[in-house]
Amino acid sequence: MTNPALAFVFPGQGSQQIGMLADAAQAFPEVVATFSEASSVLGYDLWDLCQNGTQEEINQTERTQPLLLTSSVALYRAWQAQGGAVPATMAGHSLGEWSALVCSGVLAFEDAVRLVRERGRLMQEAVPAGEGAMAAVIGLDDQAVEAACAESAQGAVVSAVNYNSPGQVVIAGSAAAVERAIEACKSAGAKRALPLPVSAPFHTELMRPAAEKLAPQIEATAFHAPETPVIHNVHAKTESDPAAIKALMVEQIYSPVRWTECVQAMASSGTQQLVECGPGKVLAGLAKRIDRSLSAFNIEKPEQLSDAVKAVAS
């Protein structure tokens, strides 16, 4: 049964850790089966990689993206198997939007694994290592961050790319321009502005070549109308037309993630309980900053999943 007050959110890059989901795999056969399915598509053992590989290996974007997609889908399948309520809405942060599309029935899991591996590869290739950068800006309003980026660009690319919560914005672009924008944000009164350990400037115009290369592959993949509405990063609205969803997933690669607006859209549509479906608890923390009235749950551990199933029973 659908719980009209329940939303599911799916994390993006940065939530990956060696050893993640180890407990869940022992408790839920769906986790093992989902990783096995992904491994057969990828041609390597994804479970072995995330349990026995190195952090450096799982931080390679073309591996990170299938890994996080698989983790989120595995936990959602475990949620379903445990009798968890059907959410009324879904959203994913950046890469996590692909997890939301799979769990809402828009596209097959195997197709998503193929596409996000290619998405990761193309995004990494779009800007040579060392030429792009990202930074987190804390304690400055959106307009001030945007103004700092505009004055720092000087003909290069730097822009706000993740509106994560009020007072927390990520900027990205060419390395020198990001460096200038960090200083400009500090001068404008930011509490902190610090570089992130990411090798490519995601969600900027510099990613447009990657989007253009991925577009034909997205176009050739079967997409369906969502069974559960998904709020999209690009405009913080839902979309039911498969062709429009394909276009949004291309545009998403070089457009900002409007996460604050996505969570606000959920809250205004009646969401009271939010489940973060994937490793970590970044999105649950952001949700509480965006709207204090929301109850947020994490389900990476078996006991967390069981407790959340009971807490959000429809």
Please identify every residue annotated as catalytic. Answer: 94, 203
Give the tokens for residue 137: 């800006």
State yes or no: pLDDT of 183 exceeds 80. yes
State yes or no: pLDDT of 40 exceeds 90. yes
User: 3-state SS string over 36-67?
Assistant: HHHHHHHCCCHHHHHHHCCHHHHCCHHHHHHH
Please, what is the average pLDDT of the chain? 96
Q: What is the mean pLDDT of residues 234-248?
A: 98
Percentage of residues of the chain with pLDDT beyond 70: 99
Q: What is the mean pLDDT of residues 24-46?
A: 98
State yes or no: pLDDT of 296 exceeds 70. yes
State yes or no: pLDDT of 313 exceeds 80. no
| CB contact at 8 A, 207 and 82 | no
Domains of the chain by start residue, with CATH: 2-126+206-311 (3.40.366.10), 132-198 (3.30.70.250)
Cα separation, 107 vs 226, whole angstroms: 9
Q: What is the mean pLDDT of residues 225-241?
A: 98
- Show the DSSP H helices in the chain as ranges: 22-27, 29-42, 46-52, 55-58, 61-81, 96-103, 109-126, 142-153, 175-187, 208-219, 242-251, 259-268, 282-290, 302-311
How would residue 314 be classed by pLDDT, with cut points 50, 70 and 90?
low
Question: Which range (130-144, 194-208, 243-257) has the least confidence?
Answer: 194-208
How far are the Cα atoms of 12, 93, 173, 238, 274 from residue 271, in angstroms, in the given order? 21, 17, 34, 14, 7
**Three-state DSSP class for 167?**
coil
Cα separation, 9 vs 155, whole angstroms: 36
| CB contact at 8 A, 104 and 90 | yes
Q: What is the pLDDT of residue 14?
A: 85
State yes or no: pLDDT of 4 exceeds 80. yes
